[in-house]
Amino acid sequence: MDFYYSLAQIIGFHTLLGLSAYIVLQTGQVTLAQAGFFAIGAYVAGMLTVLAGWHLVPAMIVAGLAAAIMACLVGFPALRVRGLMLVIATLAFGEAVRLFFFNFDYQIAKGDVKIGPLGGEGFRQIRWFPENGWTSFEIMLFVWAVVALVAGALWWIDRSRFGAVLRAVGEDELAAQSVGINLTAVKVTAMTIGGFIAGLGGSIYAHYTTHIEHANFNVLLATFAIAYPILGGLRSVFGTIVAVIFVQGFLVEGLRFMGDWRNLLFGALIVAAMNLRPHGLIDAATARRLARLFGREQRRA
């Protein structure tokens, strides 16, 4: 059973990673920086619980805020460029963060062992969960409580005017300016919220795996971050969740029995999914059906 609890945790923090890209993608910005914010969250939260002895929850909030501040700072210069240039700029940022942690040493002695991040060796012993006697089941519940909070908040944003503004910017920047929307403010806000969510995800990841190192936060992870919401469909947060379950639950874990052939099929299935559901696993029509299922009355102006 522990295997499934553990899988559910993996799906949980990958969902947070995907949702962090979801809100940025709403504004039409393709970002490869999310793995960088995820890394910042992981390291900051790990250092707070291990080195400073904090409780996990405040550590996660501070880690989220640290990633959010970084996202805001990166947002201003990065969002001045568009399209492919933005992809390259955010990719460069993500790699810069990874290389920072490759070089980052901050160890303190605890008893006769030294603990803390140690460059290429990584950061070991992030053992807040086991030290506090959490069972795998409890950890899973906690992770999904965080996911539910974040997904709920984003779902609410989607339905608010701000959500419509995000999509308007993604559709036509020129028209958006002409109806009085400040592009920079909207994009940087989306980036900051995305940074916060990635930071939360990273802090959960660090405590799930107990050992993080720079190589975990590579371009592949950044690609996954944008692949989830694109594969799932940008119409609804549920799309991202479904896509993560599809990728992590089915493609990565479910097909493990196929050995090395799995990786080949993995790529093929993603291509197939995108061809069969060109607007994402949860597209506009499915989202509407879901909304009806949840008993929302159709608004009529």
Partner 1 sequence: MLEVRGLAKHFGGVRAVDGIDFAIRPGEIFGLIGPNGSGKSTTVNLVCGLYEPTAGQILFEGQDIARVPTHKRLALGLARTFQNIRLFANLTVWENLWMAENAPAHQAGTSFLKRWVGGRSDARERITRALEFSGLAHRADDLAGSLAFGEQRRLELARALAAKPKLLLLDEPAAGMNAGEIAQLDERIRALQGQGYTILLIEHHMELVMAVTDRVCVLNFGRKIAEGTPAEVQADPAVREAYLGTA
Q: Which residues bind partner 1 (CB under 8 A)?
A: 156-157, 159-162, 164-165, 167-168, 171-172, 174-183, 284, 298-301
Contact 157, 163 (CB under 8 A): yes
Least gap, CB of 266 to partner 1 (angstroms): 30
Half-sphere exposure of residue 251: CA atoms within 13 angstroms, side-chain side: 21
Name the residue nearer to partner 1 (CB basis): 50 or 166. Answer: 166
Specify whether the backbone of 30 is left (phi greater than 0), alpha (psi in -120 to 50) or beta. Answer: beta
The residue among 11 and 168 lying less far from partner 1, judged by its C-beta, is 168
Smallest separation, CB 186 to partner 1 (Å): 10
Cβ closest to partner 1, residue 109 vs residue 179: 179
What is the nearest approach in angstroms of partner 1 to the Cβ of residue 163? 8
Region of residue 172 (phi > 0: left; psi between -120 and 50: alpha; otherwise: beta) = beta
Q: How far apart are CA 183 and CA 170, in angstroms?
A: 10
| Nearer to partner 1 among residue 7 and residue 153 (C-beta) | 153
Q: How far is the CB of 70 from partner 1 (least distance, A)?
A: 23
Q: Which is nearer to partner 1, 24 or 44 (CB)?
A: 24
CB 150 within 8 A of CB 68: no
Q: Where are the alpha helices (DSSP H) in the chain?
A: 2-26, 34-50, 56-78, 83-103, 128-131, 136-159, 161-171, 173-178, 183-209, 219-232, 237-244, 261-276, 284-293
Hey, how many other C-beta atoms are within 10 angstroms of the C-beta on 145?
11
Q: Which is closer to partner 1, CB of 157 or CB of 204? A: 157
At its nearest, how many Å lie between partner 1 and the CB of residue 240?
18
Q: Are 71 and 196 in contact (CB under 8 A)?
A: yes
What residues form DSSP beta bridges with 110? 113
Q: Which is nearer to partner 1, 105 or 171 (CB)?
A: 171
Minimum distance, C-beta of residue 78 to partner 1, in the bound complex (Å): 19
- Tokens 């501070």, residue located: 62
SS3 at position 242: helix
Shortest Å, Cβ 216 to partner 1? 34
